[in-house]
Structure 1
Amino acid sequence: MRIPALIKHLVAVSVALCLFISIGQAQTSDLVSGKSLRVCADPANYPMSTKEGTGFENKLAEMFAAKLELPLEYSWYPMATGFIRNSLRANKCDVVIGYAQGHELVLNTNHYFTSAYTLVVPKDGALADVDTLADERLKGLRLGVVAGSPPATHMARNGLIGKARPYNLVVDRRHESPIINMLDDLKAGELDGAILWGPISGPLIQNDYSEMSVTPLLKETLPPRLFFRITMGVRQGEKVWARKLNSLIRRNQDEINAILLDAGVPLTNEFGTGLLGQEN
């Protein structure tokens, strides 16, 4: 008569397991607001996000809120040390609009665009057609680069570090603007070129430094890579929410691309080997 007892025990364990899984899923889902699209963003990270709503990530957030038929709500925190801990993980929002693929601090959605580092030089200068850091014309020149960024390794490999001018990587943009400082130094002739992340350089040159040209560095084959796939970041474990965002990305990719291209973001294919729509 032990068999019926065993069956009852197995049924009880199965029910308990199902309840545990259901409760776990409910707790995960409950962290995401159903009343608004809650976004964490840097209030002074132009051209990506601003408190005034002028960044391209602001435009993407507005588009996603409209698709979800929810009001848009922001929680502001500088994109510096502690950003995820003090925003997304603190449950002050449910999504970060732009985050590099593969970052362990968040659960990444599918990527919604790929871009690359770029070389910025005077549009009418002798370097306007340079498209690789191995180009001999760059030797001995003064190049600006964000300290610790991937292009610095390529510069060292090609003997370009000697006269390079480093600019800070992690700052509170409400008080410091190293990228603007770099471009101003280039405009003033204190630099011969600047190496910047494309989603920053493209919009800035389009809007504020029209005398400069932006060339994506798509020919660098040695590591570290200079192209990155950008996703949205949600809390670890919130897979249902991530799948919902993935669906929105998939169904609205053309509209996403249009917003980014209009902002001046250089979009590449997902392997960083050609500009979107211009591959050979």
Structure 2
Amino acid sequence: MPAWVKPFCAAVFAALLMPAGPGAAQTSDLVSHNALRVCADPANFPMADDKEQGYENKLAEFIAAKLEIPVAYTWYPMATGFIRNTLRANKCDVVMGYAQGHELVLNTNHYFTSAYTLVVPADGPLSTVDTLSDPALKGVKIGIIAGSPPATHMARNGLLGDAKAYNLVVDRRYESPVIDMLDDLAAGTTGAAVIWGPLAGPLVKKDYPGLTVTPLTKETLPPRLFFRITMGVRQGEKVWQRKLNSLIRRNQAEINEILSEAGVPLLDDMGTQLLEAAK
């Protein structure tokens, strides 16, 4: 052990045992006070990218403005090792979008709820379909991300035999399964696609005017197809978590506006219906 480690550890231990005086504020030594340090994938549009064009980029700018500090990014592909090499390595302090309940991070309160969606040609015979049990989907070649929750529903309804599977875990710098799914659907190679709404909604709004996106809010059997999205911070950093919770609570309307403008389907907390602003 280096000579400086023992006295440093002793000092830290003593500080932890020292009672805080009246009105003393808790602080998190690992969280930067000079910038909103964001962990993000450099090629994860429409959520975020290194051109800062995604809605999570806009959300980060909004939160940073409220904190009166600039945004600083640590870029790393959102695949195996993402949290270990970014948040846990103290290279950044927040992941802007993370599913509620994931043990790798400490979740803030959720700031939106969304669901998987069915994407089909807007002028086609499937445009009114809103459940995966609809008989109209029988025999249709449906694009699906392999291993994603809707695959179980498709199997239950006998739809996997005709499905086209796309990879689940990829490096978006080199492969874009959701873009491939939408391109195939637009070209008529497939007849429908089941895609996570916060990806499908913005991409269709931006580049696929001939397609329509329908949230799958009527599925009652497991697994659930809706998820509450939070910001993720390091485990144990409760002060930082509470600060972000306060910002979310006080600015929810503005956050909803950023997401709605991007095209994200926003649902109520139970994932059963679209919020008015998102209709």
Please say whether Structure 1 and Structure 2 have the same fold, judged by a TM-score greater than 0.5: yes
In structure 2, runs of 5+ residues without a counterpart are 1-13
- Distance in 2 (alpha carbons) for counterparts of 1:187 and 1:199: 19
Residue 19 (structure 1) shift = 1.7
In structure 2, do the counterparts of structure 1 residues 17 and 59 end up closer, same or farther at CA, with 3 Å as the change threshold?
closer
User: What do residues 100-124 of structure 1 show as CA deviations (whole Å, max 9, x unaligned)?
Assistant: 0000000000000000000000000
Matched length: 263
3-state SS in 2 of match to 1:89? coil
- Distance in 2 (alpha carbons) for counterparts of 1:132 and 1:202: 17
CA contact (8 A) 2:108 2:233 kept: yes
1:1-280 matched pairs, under 5 angstroms: 18-19=17-18, 29-277=28-276
In structure 2, do the counterparts of structure 1 residues 63 and 223 end up closer, same or farther at CA, with 3 Å as the change threshold?
same
3-state SS in 1 of match to 2:165? strand
CA contact (8 A) 1:202 1:214 kept: yes
3-state SS in 2 of match to 1:29? coil
User: What do residues 48-76 of structure 1 show as CA deviations (whole Å, max 9, x unaligned)?
Assistant: 00101100000000000000000110000
In structure 2, do the counterparts of structure 1 residues 250 and 132 end up closer, same or farther at CA, with 3 Å as the change threshold?
same
3-state SS in 2 of match to 1:162? helix
| TM-score, normalised via structure 2 length | 0.91
**Aligned-pair RMSD on alpha carbons?**
1.9
User: What do residues 207-246 of structure 1 show as CA deviations (whole Å, max 9, x unaligned)?
Assistant: 0001000000000000000000000000000000000000
In structure 2, do the counterparts of structure 1 residues 278 and 63 end up closer, same or farther at CA, with 3 Å as the change threshold?
closer
**AA partner of residue 78 (structure 2):** M
In structure 2, do the counterparts of structure 1 residues 272 and 39 end up closer, same or farther at CA, with 3 Å as the change threshold?
same
In structure 2, do the counterparts of structure 1 residues 278 and 261 end up closer, same or farther at CA, with 3 Å as the change threshold?
closer
Residue 140 (structure 1) shift = 1.0
- Distance in 1 (alpha carbons) for counterparts of 2:246 and 2:16: 29
- Distance in 2 (alpha carbons) for counterparts of 1:45 and 1:267: 20
- Distance in 2 (alpha carbons) for counterparts of 1:243 and 1:73: 21
- Distance in 2 (alpha carbons) for counterparts of 1:267 and 1:153: 23
- Distance in 1 (alpha carbons) for counterparts of 2:26 and 2:243: 17
In structure 2, do the counterparts of structure 1 residues 16 and 228 end up closer, same or farther at CA, with 3 Å as the change threshold?
closer
In structure 2, do the counterparts of structure 1 residues 82 and 245 end up closer, same or farther at CA, with 3 Å as the change threshold?
same
User: What do residues 145-199 of structure 1 show as CA deviations (whole Å, max 9, x unaligned)?
Assistant: 0011000000000000001111011111001111111111111111000000000
CA contact (8 A) 1:28 1:238 kept: no
- Matching residue of 2:7: none
In structure 1, runs of 5+ residues without a counterpart are 1-14
Identity level (%): 71
Structure 1 residue ranges (4+ consecutive) displaced by more than 3 angstroms after TM superposition:
15-18, 25-28
**AA partner of residue 185 (structure 2):** L
CA contact (8 A) 2:74 2:86 kept: yes
- Distance in 2 (alpha carbons) for counterparts of 1:26 and 1:50: 35
- Distance in 2 (alpha carbons) for counterparts of 1:80 and 1:16: 37
3-state SS in 2 of match to 1:85? helix
CA contact (8 A) 2:97 2:232 kept: yes
3-state SS in 2 of match to 1:166? strand
- Distance in 2 (alpha carbons) for counterparts of 1:166 and 1:21: 56
